[in-house]
Amino acid sequence: MMVPRSIDEIAHLFDKLPGVGPRAALRYAYWLASQPKNLIRQFADACNLLANQVTACEVCGTWTDNSPCNTCKDPRRDNGMLCVVAVSQDIRPMEEASVFSGKYHVLGGLIDPIEGKTAEHLRVNQLIKRIKDADPVITEVILALDPDVMGDTTALYLTRQLQPLGITISRLARGIPTGAQIEYADEATITDAYINRRNN
């Protein structure tokens, strides 16, 4: 079957999305082609906006339209507490649970030897520098990482790196089931995990 070049190209791009295979990608491409032209243009404009305006916050590393991001600039946030997450989208459930009032640090992923992702690929040096240079001082770092092998490995590595700094290091309690991702946890689960966090 001959697939028009424009549909084939957008299908290849959809295929790069997590959880989308070649068949689903082609289905999405054909669906998009069948939509009104103004919707397709809106889709393209949104992608252009994403490419041109979204950047990593110079302080915490989260995706933002303005750097520093609104959370880093907020004077009402507790500067003494720092919550370390793997990726930007892990911040949303923490904020929706309304249990944490400090600031965040995005690592940019987790240690994953199978995928060749080592600690050098993460924003660990920036985290250490941020803690050392903080004024007022950071007294507690909460590791809000997925409760799986990669999350545990990363948490262990971070704990070893941060212990010499003499700060309290805690991790979200196992209110989040093993193998689950923080991004999909509900507010009650996040709240329980935060309240029952423990020192590493």
Residue type, 143: L
Residues 103-123 have pLDDT tens digits of: 999 999 999 988 889 999 999
Residues 58-78 have pLDDT tens digits of: 999 999 999 999 999 999 999
> Alpha-carbon torsion 25, 116, 176, 57, what sign?
negative
Report the chain's mean pLDDT, rounded to a whole number: 92
Q: Domain 5-53's class?
A: mainly alpha
- Does this model's pTM top 0.85? My answer is no
Which tokens sit at 35?
């939509």
3-class SS shares of the chain: helix, strand, coil, % to 5: 50, 15, 40
The domain segmentation of the chain, as residue ranges, is 5-53, 56-199
Q: Domain 56-199's class?
A: alpha beta
Query: pLDDT higher for 130 or 184?
Result: 130
When pLDDT is averaged across residues 149-173 and rounded to a whole number, the result is 93
Q: Is 169 helix (H, G, I), strand (E, B) or coil?
A: strand
Least confident window among 131-135, 141-145, 188-192: 188-192
Residue carrying the six token digits 């998009």:
32
Looking at residue 193, its pLDDT comes to 82
